[in-house]
Amino acid sequence: MSDLVEELFEQELMRRGVQCRFDEEALRYRVQHQGRELLVSLDNLARDYAREQDEACVVSFVDNLLSLYVEEQSWEEVRGLILFTLEPSDYAEPLLLRTPISDRVDRVPVIVRAPRQTVSFITPTMVDKWQVSLAEVEAAASRNLAAALAAAKLEHADVDGMRLGFLGTELPIKAALILAPNLREVLSPVLGWPLYAVIPDRDFLYLWASRHRGFLDRVGRTVVKEFTTAPYPITTEVFEISDTGIKPIGAYQTESA
């Protein structure tokens, strides 16, 4: 862990009047916020800072951290902000509301707030307070993802006669757009169907027609590089998306594998 990152993190919390201490046994920070103790690893922040060399990423990290368990908003206030995100399933403290997409990846409901696009995990306590069912939360997430995909800009690059697709969007969880219920409607006229997708981190998504299986050999290095350097890595898996759903068909190996 970078001493500079730790120093910047502690300074940002101090600036906001938030107390913290480093737990030598857990190798994580214990942050006191709104009557709760949050156990925080700086691994993602260190990766982000190493990549961007910008102190603004520390501010964004703390924004996200302190918004994780905001529960005071009503259902009417948050229903339009709820989305699904994709998260690795190997968290030391597993997320409470998660649905496996593969052995390595979970689908998780979140709230994404402008203008900083902070991502807050939804908890069972929040659902109970809203007095709605989990099914209603998930239905809202699907509707909002569909709207986000419809608003995104679909672009593509021609690679030896194949179209490699990517999406332009302000969402910080671009990879989750593969969960949008209107994915075939929006993408198939341009890219074809079924599709392959790679989602090495939250903000990275490549898509192409699965009939171009040979492209799997060409994208692996990019996937591994993104996965190993991005602040919020997800997986090196390749997913096939078809009318029967989303399923993993394999994974690229990292050097540490």
pLDDT digits (tens, 9 = 90+) for 165-193: 999 999 989 999 999 999 999 999 999 99
Count of CB atoms situated within 10 Å of the CB of 71: 14
| Spatial separation of the C-alpha atoms in residues 121 and 102, rounded to whole Å | 20
| Spatial separation of the C-alpha atoms in residues 146 and 182, rounded to whole Å | 6
Below-70 pLDDT ranges, the chain: 1-2, 67-72, 92, 115-116, 256-257
Contact between residue 65 and residue 32 where contact means Cβ atoms under 8 Å apart:
no
| Spatial separation of the C-alpha atoms in residues 134 and 142, rounded to whole Å | 12
The token pair that represents 20 in the structure block: 């913290």
Sketch the domain layout of the chain as residue ranges: 1-66, 152-251
Q: What is the pLDDT of residue 202?
A: 94
Q: Considering only CA atoms, which of 68, 65, 206, 74 is closest in space to residue 131?
A: 74
**CA torsion, ordered 178, 180, 182, 188, to nearest 10 deg:** -10
- Main-chain phi, psi angles of 56, to 5 degrees: -60, -25
Surface-to-core class of residue 95, CB atoms within 10 Å of its CB (0-12 exposed, 13-18 middle, 19+ buried): middle
Q: What is the pLDDT of residue 201?
A: 96
pTM summary value: 0.80
| Spatial separation of the C-alpha atoms in residues 58 and 42, rounded to whole Å | 10
